[in-house]
Every structure is written in C-alpha cells, then in structure tokens.
Structure 1
Amino acid sequence: MDFDQYLTSLDGWSAYHGFKKMDIQPGLDVDRMFYKESSEASKMGVVDRFLYIKKVPDNINAEWARKFSSGLFEYSRQYKQTFGRFFRSMMIVNPVMAVDTISRELYDFIMSYCPKQFKAMEFPAILQLSTNDLYLYQKTPFWGALYYDGIRKSTSDYFSPKRWEQISQNQK
C-alpha cells in the first residue's frame, strides 16, 4: 500500500472510530490530523484524543522523531487549553511517522520512548509502509499499568492496516 492509499484508508477508519478530520493549521507539519472527545471509565472521565500522521524520510534520526512527537503533544495541549478543559480531562496524543522502511535507530527509539505526562499520554508509533507493520512502545510503565494495554490496542485499531483487516474479517 502506498502512502496515498493509506491516507484514504485512514480517513475511513478514523471516521469509523468516531474521529473528526481536522483542518491542518499553517505551520503544523503533518499530512492528517484527527480529533475525538469521548468518555472512558478506564481513563477516569473525558478523553481528548489527537491522531497525527506524517510521511517522513527513512533516514530521520531518533532526535528528530522525539522532537516531532513532543512538538505535536505540545500543540495538542495548547489546542485543548483553548477549550478550558486542560485540568478536567485526559489527553492522548498519537503522532505517527510513516516510513517506507524503518531504520534500526528509529526502531530503537520507538521501543524505548515513553515520556511521562500529567493527565496525558504522548504515544507515538511508526508505520512501515513496505510491510504495513506498526511499531509502538511495548512495555508497561508502573504509572501506566491501568491503561497502557488499552492504549496499545487502540493505537493499532486506529493506524494499523493489518489490524483493519482483522476488524473487517471479524465483522463478516
């Protein structure tokens, strides 16, 4: 699947999961942005969830990936504050970088990057377009024991073409 085909599928699956496709503000360097507000008991109330995807060169390094992810987290935090709900709800941000082939450095980054935030989660992933594999943090930090499994599952549900296939098969 090439990136344009992926974006078309992502648009459909994001709508399926209840996300709204957002207009991309000038200066925000992403290919797509989606937003959803929901109530989730496991996350103790209202959850604001932001999804981002960007096609990036295969040779980006871990520092670039960290800045990309943390920059989108900060953008989402500012966006959420405009609604005056920063302290009343949880925020989950999924910045996803799409590459043709994942480098070892990028793989090591995504398997070790787990920033701790207050009432928020920055949970990046990397989609390898050549195989449709989605790479994301696999460990569960002590402070995330209540919800990390769910975050991994939902991130796969939202971004993984392989997971979309499974969901489609289960609906038949």
Structure 2
Amino acid sequence: MDQRLYQPVGFKWASRRSGFEISKFGMHDSTFIFCEIPALDPAKMSGFSNAAFSFANSNKSVGLPNGFFMSVSCFPVAITSNADPQLMQIVKGTTPTKHFGGFEMPVVFDTTTGALAYYEGTPLWGAAYFSGFRKVVVNNLA
C-alpha cells in the first residue's frame, strides 16, 4: 500500500493482498497493519485494532460493500517491547470483533521475547475460517 495512505493515521506499515477467493465467495482483501505501541495495554490494543479494521475497510481494492462478493480480513499487529504476560493471555483468549463480511484478528509482537499473541480459539460464527486466519498469521509473522 502507498505509505501516504497509512502513515498520516499513525501506522508504521500496511500491506494488502487482494484477489478472488472462491472460499470467500468473491473478492477478498487481506490486510496487515503494523504499529509500534509502547506500554501496550488492552485499551490501546482494542483502539488500534478498531482503527486498523476501519482503515482496511475504507481502503478496499474494490468498492463493493462487504458481504456482497467482497470481504476484508485485517490483521492489526501491535509491536511492543516487554509485553505484559497478562496482556498476551488476554489477546489469546479474547474473541475478535465480529463484522459483516469482515474479520479482524489482533496480534501482539513482543520485540524482547519474539513472542506472538493472537486469538487461539474458534468461535462458532467463524468456524469455517478461523483455522485459515491463524495459518495466515503464522505463515506471515512466525
């Protein structure tokens, strides 16, 4: 993505892969958004995740509304050092926000330990896709 789109809103990097996916019933944008956040806490993580999803949804490759041959997955990656272990557990155990035709999976990367934290469960409403979303995180970040 063009840095003139994402840097003014405070994101360090953003990357989007777009294409037709039969399993998503149409076009799909998969967007990773990275931000360095010192002293990360659950409120900051939630705010960043919401802002990242809004950004990804507002900057789709196709102007169709979500759910109608268009879907968006967003992976907001908060980069921090010395992440609180309790925060890491909260991220691993908190079900991501549900969106119509959209998905967000917050990720924390601790630069001190190299640890990644992301939701490890599978909600009923996302059972068909969550295994694949976790693979996307591992394949791109681990």
Secondary structure of 2:108 counterpart: strand
CA offsets, 1:59-103, max 9 Å, x none? 2221111011001111111222x8422232110001101112221
Structure 1, unpaired ranges of 5+: 1-20, 161-172
Structure 2, unpaired ranges of 5+: none
Say whether residues 1:29 and 2:29 are aligned partners: no
**Which of 106, 131, 136 matches 1:124?**
106
Cα drift, residue 116 of structure 1: 0.7
**In 2, distance between residues paired with 1:31 and 1:156?**
20
**In 2, distance between residues paired with 1:22 and 1:127?**
23
Decide which structure has greater helix share. 1
Larger radius of gyration: 1
Aligned pairs for 1:13-162 (under 5 A) are 21-25=1-5, 27-57=8-38, 59-80=39-60, 83-86=62-65, 87-111=68-92, 112-160=94-142
Secondary structure of 1:36 counterpart: strand
How large is the RMSD of aligned CA atoms in angstroms? 1.8
| TM-score, normalised relative to structure 2 | 0.87
Q: How many residues align?
A: 138
Decide which structure has greater strand share. 2
